[in-house]
């Protein structure tokens, strides 16, 4: 489904982070989504070539690369949200109500554990 709109797997997650807060550093994007620097750099380069983002040097620190959405990148938000909603419906329609509640509960626990791990890795830097 993502390929239909020109995205590779995982790029929508990076775009979601930029839709929440545009103009982030490549390093912070990687930290937020749990990817290493080289994977983020490769994905950002692909998205830049597709016209979805731009990369610029931070005026405060020229070593830092900032990633910002283009108009084309912003326009994908509704399409990506629609795809995610369709995937949720497809996934959930075979689950009972009890299984759905359990899935949501477990997802929150997993997200909390990931957030905690991210906070711990930031404090160790």
d(CA 34, CA 117) in angstroms, rounded, equals: 10
Q: Token pair of 19, please?
A: 């839709």
Kindly list the distances between the CA atom of residue 54 and the CA atoms of 9, 39, 82, in Å, as whole numbers in the listed order.
Answer: 19, 17, 24
Confidence band of 118 (pLDDT split at 50, 70, 90): low
DSSP 31: H
State yes or no: pLDDT of 105 exceeds 60. yes
- Answer yes or no: do 89 and 70 share one domain: yes
In terms of Cα–Cα distance, which of 26, 10, 8, 5 is closest to 68? 26
- Answer yes or no: do 66 and 102 share one domain: no
- Answer yes or no: do 85 and 110 share one domain: no
State yes or no: pLDDT of 17 exceeds 90. yes
CATH number at residue 59: 1.10.10.10
Name the one residue in this structure whose structure tokens are 């620190």. Answer: 61
Q: What is the mean pLDDT of the chain?
A: 89
Model confidence pTM above 0.85: no
State yes or no: pLDDT of 111 exceeds 90. no
Q: 62 vs 9, which has greater pLDDT?
A: 62
What are the tens digits of pLDDT across the range 68-93?
Answer: 999 999 999 999 999 999 988 888 88
- Answer yes or no: do 24 and 58 share one domain: yes
- Answer yes or no: do 102 and 117 share one domain: yes
């Amino acid at each position: 489904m993502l390929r239909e709109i020109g995205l590779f797997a995982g790029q929508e997650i990076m775009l979601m982070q930029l839709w929440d807060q545009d103009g982030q550093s490549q390093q912070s994007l990687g930290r937020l989504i749990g990817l290493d620097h080289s994977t983020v750099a490769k994905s950002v380069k692909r998205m830049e070539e597709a016209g979805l983002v731009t990369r610029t040097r931070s005026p405060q620190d020229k070593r830092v690369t900032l990633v910002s959405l283009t108009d084309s990148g912003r326009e994908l938000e509704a399409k990506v949200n629609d795809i995610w909603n369709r995937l949720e419906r497809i996934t959930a329609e075979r689950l009972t109500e009890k299984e759905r509640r359990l899935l949501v509960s477990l997802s929150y626990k997993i997200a909390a554990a990931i957030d905690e791990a991210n906070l711990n890795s930031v404090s160790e830097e």
